[in-house]
Amino acid sequence: MISTITNAIAAGSAAPLPLEKVPLEAYVPPAKPSLIGLSRSELSERLGEIGVAPAQRKMRVQQLWHWIYFRGAKSFDEMTSISKDTRAELAKHFTVDRPEVVAEQISNDGTRKWLLRLPSGDKVEKPHEVECVYIPETDRGTLCVSSQVGCTLNCAFCHTGTQRLVRNLTAGEIVGQVMVARDRLNDWENRESGRLVTNIVMMGMGEPLYNFEAVRDALLIVADNEGIGISRRRITLSTSGVVPNIIRAGEEIGVMLAISLHAVRNELRDVLVPLNRKYPIEELLQACRDYPGASNARRITFEYVMLKGVNDSLDDAKLLVKLLKGIPAKINLIPFNPWPGTAYECSDWDQIEKFSEYIFNAGYSSPVRTPRGRDILAACGQLKSETEKLSARERQALRAMAMTD
């Protein structure tokens, strides 16, 4: 199967997957909205709407912020520094609910995956679900956060890309994933140095730069040092290359940037990451050169998934080094994580080593990302909620589309 794909690509004859999927589903808010995800000024507005006097609002916002994001309060009852009457009034109109956890899986390597259910307006027929993964390591604990239910893009090797249903998450649902992780790991009690969730990567389901405002608002809350307080240097946003929003991300969010490159020639990247047809490699790399705040101390990560016989030759490695010249970069080689129905295979280990060695000798740090949580389908690109699986026939049709002349 792979050789057919490669040949088709080599011959320039692969009919590429459609660049984007059909319209986004709408967000249907719950009857009583959660305050999670609101900025300070939005919180103040909501307080005004329920009759909190203007002179009191600033103080109330400070209190709510502290209880919600610093202490992790799950109800207004816990917020004892707020008067009882105000608490009752708040509870009448709002909640501090997080997304509902419907399943928790723990891998034999300690990785945890949570399946979260979100309001969909049609909960029985089509619940909206996302996944969120916690990866403990010796020196850090990384939470991999989703930005959309599914993804409108169709990267050929990504499980999430095969999901039909797509909707943007709200800022509250994005921050909510961090809250859920802290809840489940009992991480609110830990002092800063002992925190379990120390790093955030926007590398779960979805393309974060196609949900720019919500991702921005959520990350600004996560980074706020009067609350969750995870510094921007410990937050990484990964994009498949939405060029116009890359600079915005630097200016308006200021987090670390990761680019899902995966191919060094446009004709192959057009197939692997169809968005390349809109924003080709040269434009993408120019946006990286222009990324505000990129420096040797704040390098841009280039992710490169190792696909056997597709993008893993030494010629590819050479061209990669050439392309990245002049960009403060590190390269993250990701062994391909297979999923049911995929046509791709992971490169052989010795090929990954050769590729990595070449890059290393050219002066780049090139860690090979150890797959984590493979046994619970929690590794990169394996996320996909059960309810959204395509039928075998649909998968076959997608593959056929990728391969026919």
Neighbours of 49 (CB within 10 A): 9
Interface with ligand SAH, residue 236, by CB under 6 A: no
Interface with ligand SF4, residue 86, by CB under 6 A: no
- Mark whether 353 is an active-site residue: no
Which range in 65-73, 127-135, 190-198, 379-387 contacts ligand SAH by CB under 6 A?
379-387
Which range in 37-45, 85-93, 158-166, 328-336 contacts ligand SF4 by CB under 6 A?
158-166
Tokens of 102: 């419907």
Q: Distance of CA 78 to CAs 183, 225, 226, Å?
A: 15, 21, 18
Interface with ligand SF4, residue 82, by CB under 6 A: no
- Cβ–Cβ < 8 Å for 228, 71: no
- Cβ–Cβ < 8 Å for 373, 107: yes
Q: Distance of CA 246 to CAs 32, 224, 387, Å?
A: 35, 21, 32
Of 151 and 261, which has the nearer Cβ to ligand SF4? 151
3-state secondary structure of 307: strand
3-state secondary structure of 238: strand
3-state secondary structure of 206: coil
Residue that is written with structure tokens 């399943």 in the block: 103
Of 86 and 162, which has the nearer Cβ to ligand SF4? 162
Interface with ligand SF4, residue 155, by CB under 6 A: yes
Question: For the purposes of burial, counting CB atoms within 10 Å of the CB of 296, is it exposed (0-12), middle (13-18) or buried (19 or more)?
Answer: exposed
Binding mask 206-245 for ligand SF4 (x = CB under 6 A): xx--------------------------------x-----
Beta partners for 131?
115
Kindly state the DSSP code that residue 368 receives in the 8-state scheme. B
Interface with ligand SAH, residue 272, by CB under 6 A: no
Which range in 108-116, 155-163, 213-221, 352-360 contacts ligand SF4 by CB under 6 A?
155-163
Of 69 and 336, which has the nearer Cβ to ligand SAH? 336
Catalytic pick from 151, 288, 380, 388?
Answer: 380
Give CA angle at 351 (264, 237), nearest 5°.
50
Closest approach, Cβ 334 to ligand SAH, in A, equals: 4
Closest approach, Cβ 398 to ligand SF4, in A, equals: 12
Closest approach, Cβ 261 to ligand SF4, in A, equals: 11
Residue 303 touches which of ligand SAH, ligand SF4, none (CB < 5 to 8 A by kind)? Answer: ligand SAH
**Beta strands, E only, 150-307:** 167-168, 199-202, 235-239, 256-260, 300-306
Catalytic pick from 131, 173, 207, 303?
Answer: 131
Interface with ligand SAH, residue 240, by CB under 6 A: yes
- Mark whether 131 is an active-site residue: yes
Binding mask 335-374 for ligand SAH (x = CB under 6 A): -xx-------------------------------------
- What distance in Å separates the CA atoms of residue 52 and residue 345, rounded to the nearest whole number? 59
Give residues in contact with ligand SAH (CB under 6 A): 155, 157-159, 203, 207, 238-240, 260, 303, 305, 334, 336-337, 380-382
* Active-site amino acid positions: 131, 380
